[in-house]
A = this chain, B = another copy of it.
Amino acid sequence: MLSITDARGRILALLRPTGAEIVPLGEAAGRVLAAPVISRLTQPPRDVSAMDGYAVRADDAAAGARLRVVGIAPAGHPFGGAMGPGEAVRLFTGSVVPEGADCIVIQEDATEADGIVTLRERGLPGRHVRGAGLDFAVGDELLPAGRVLTARDVGLAAAANHPWLSVHRRPTVAILATGDEIAMPGEPIPAGGIVSSNSHALAAFVRACGGVPVILPVARDDREAIAAAADAAARADLLLTTGGASVGTYDLVQQGLSDRGLALDFWKIAMRPGKPLMFGSMGGVPVLGLPGNPVSAMICALLFGRPAIERLCGLAGDAPPREPARCTVALAANDHRADHLRAVLARGEDGMLEVTPFGPQDSSMLRRLARADAVVLRAPDAPAVAAGAMVEVIRLAACGL
């Protein structure tokens, strides 16, 4: 059996980022930059005032000085001429500092009457002036390629005068559930059947990871039906299947996809939940075969699907981020398979993150998975730990799950 890390490495090795597309700035948040954002201007473009007040010459600006107000220059309306000795110009936050001035006296420290401003505080050179280019200069690389754009980044790109950005196309991720027992929500349920859940959870997860999900119709447990369903994924960037990757007689996904040229890479991982996992390539389309049990499918999606989709989106495809937490209960020694215990998080009185795994961890218990905040990672052959020991956790919602 493969380790999780080795399996993830093999998956990533087969994936290439999607190409670039141009999107309006307003649709760029959350997307991955395909090209760096280079500033098209200098910000601020000239020396500007950081406060409401008066532009003066520092040489003139002794406490008690009386200066002639020769103009008023709101932001966006620069003072036309140069300011001479003994003169002042009324400014506001963002106003361009007039030529000849080198300091701002804030309005709280000045009194204006009859065209004369009297200073109550001394002005110092450069005081309350934001120099041209304080934030950035034309030609600066403001945001690197490969960055997930935040709301702040969108603001920065706007300030640098970019109405459009080049981002990686969202990868199309086809989702194929199989099984005679599966009905779509709201549709008639066959005898002994259940309602499809994996496809819908995976679609939401794919979207959260940056992909565009395409839920294919449920394929019956029939080799031909599965092969035909796979044809609909021929233009996808990734095909996710659920169920049918185990060893049972009725596990036909592998056979059906083989009829369409699937080259299988591996299919057993030393982990729990989720041992049966399949990866391969079918006519150039990468195929990740997830287990059928809901919890196994979701944990495998987190550990393998998320990095895969992120890699397609132009990111590195890192393992989900881990963080330390104090485990409130003792944990038994682990066997040779990596385990992922569903658990709830809280803050201890000392501010430390605390984690409490649920008791039963059956891989069919979707309700309990939904209630979990995190999974506790248990490495293969990890020794028993006492209550209060530190463990590593992955937060689920923060990873799009």
Residues of A within 8 A of B (CB): 25-26, 28-30, 41, 43-46, 50, 52, 74-78, 92-96, 107, 130, 134-136, 140, 142-143, 148-164, 179-182, 184-186, 189-205, 207-208, 215, 221, 246-250, 292-294, 298, 323-324, 351-353, 362, 364-370, 372, 390, 396-398, 400-401
Given known contacts A76-B192, A351-B324, A200 and B26 CB-to-CB distance under 8 angstroms? yes
B247 & A201 in contact (Cβ 8 Å cutoff): no
B26 & A94 in contact (Cβ 8 Å cutoff): no
B52 & A150 in contact (Cβ 8 Å cutoff): no
- Known: A52-B249, A107-B247, A158-B199; 20 extra A-B contacts, CB below 8 A, are A50-B364, A77-B181, A92-B249, A95-B192, A134-B362, A135-B365, A135-B367, A135-B368, A150-B370, A150-B397, A151-B204, A151-B400, A152-B298, A154-B200, A155-B202, A158-B197, A161-B185, A163-B186, A324-B352, A351-B390
Residues of B within 8 A of A207 (CB): 29
A159 & B250 in contact (Cβ 8 Å cutoff): no
B43 & A194 in contact (Cβ 8 Å cutoff): yes
A94, A365, A370 interface centre (most CB from chain B within 10 Å)? A370
A41 & B195 in contact (Cβ 8 Å cutoff): yes
How close is A1's CB to chain B, nearest CB, in angstroms? Answer: 15
Identical subunits present: 2
A130 & B362 in contact (Cβ 8 Å cutoff): yes
The 5 A-B pairs with the shortest beta carbon distances in the complex, nearest first, are: A76-B181, A155-B201, A163-B186, A76-B180, A29-B204
How close is A218's CB to chain B, nearest CB, in angstroms? Answer: 11
B195 & A366 in contact (Cβ 8 Å cutoff): no
A215 & B26 in contact (Cβ 8 Å cutoff): yes
How close is A249's CB to chain B, nearest CB, in angstroms? Answer: 7
Given known contacts A158-B197, A207-B29, A77 and B246 CB-to-CB distance under 8 angstroms? no
Complex CA–CA separation, A241 to B136 (angstroms): 25
19 pairs, A vs B, C-beta closer than 8 Å:
A30-B208, A41-B189, A46-B192, A50-B364, A77-B192, A92-B248, A93-B293, A134-B364, A152-B372, A153-B370, A154-B200, A155-B202, A155-B294, A156-B370, A158-B197, A159-B195, A159-B196, A161-B195, A162-B185
How close is A180's CB to chain B, nearest CB, in angstroms? Answer: 4
A179 & B367 in contact (Cβ 8 Å cutoff): no
B93 & A152 in contact (Cβ 8 Å cutoff): no
How close is A40's CB to chain B, nearest CB, in angstroms? Answer: 9
B152 & A52 in contact (Cβ 8 Å cutoff): no
Residues of B within 8 A of A92 (CB): 248-250
Residues of B within 8 A of A44 (CB): 194, 364
Complex CA–CA separation, A297 to B390 (angstroms): 39
Residues of B within 8 A of A398 (CB): 398
How close is A84's CB to chain B, nearest CB, in angstroms? Answer: 20
Nearest to A190 among chain B residues (CB) is: B76
Given known contacts A134-B362, A152-B298, A369-B152, A197 and B78 CB-to-CB distance under 8 angstroms? no
B136 & A367 in contact (Cβ 8 Å cutoff): yes
A366 & B94 in contact (Cβ 8 Å cutoff): no
